[in-house]
Amino acid sequence: MRLHRNLILTVIDALNEIFNDNLYADKVVEKSLKRDKRWGARDRKFVAETIYDIVRWKRLYNEIAGTKEHYTRPNLWKIFTVWAVLHEIKLPDWHQFEGTPERRIRGMFNDLQKDRRFRESIPDWMDELGEKELGDVWEEELKALNIKADVILRVNTLKTSKFELQKLLEQEEIETEFLPDYDSALKLVERKNVFITEAFQNGLFEVQDASSQLVAEFMQVEPGMRVIDTCAGAGGKTLHIATLMKNKGQIIAMDLYDGKLNELKKRARRNEIFNIETRVIDSSKVIKKLKETADRVLIDAPCSGLGVLRRNPDAKWKLQPEFIENIKKTQAEILDQYASMVKKGGKLVYATCSILPSENQNQVQQFLNNHKDFSFVKENIVSPSKSGYDGFYMALLERKKTEEL
d(CA 13, CA 28): 9
- Catalytic: which of 126, 327, 353, 356? 353
C-alpha closest to that of 371 among 297, 281, 278 = 297
d(CA 236, CA 212): 9
CB 348 within 8 A of CB 397: yes
Question: Please, what's the b/e burial string for 361-370 (b: 16 or more CB within 10 A of its CB; e: otherwise)?
Answer: eebbeebbee
Name residues whose C-beta falls within 8 Å of residue 295's C-beta, 6 or more positions apart in sequence: 221, 225, 226, 227, 343, 346, 347
Pairing of strands 392-399, 342-352: antiparallel
Can 231 be counted among the known catalytic residues? no
- Return left, alpha or beta for 235; rule: phi > 0 is left, psi -120 to 50 is alpha, else beta: left
Pairing of strands 226-229, 250-255: parallel
d(CA 397, CA 405): 15
Name residues whose C-beta falls within 8 Å of residue 230's C-beta, 6 or more positions apart in sequence: 254, 281, 297, 298, 299, 300, 334, 338, 341
Task: For 130, list phi and psi in degrees, rounded to 5.
Answer: -60, -45
| Helices assigned H by DSSP within 87-185 | 102-112, 116-119, 124-134, 137-145, 162-171
Largest distance between two CA atoms of the chain? 80
At residue 368, the 3 state secondary structure works out as helix
C-alpha closest to that of 308 among 71, 108, 145 = 145
Q: What angle do CA 268, 272, 275 make, to 5 degrees?
A: 65
d(CA 98, CA 91): 9
- β partners of residue 379: 395
Catalytic machinery residues: 353
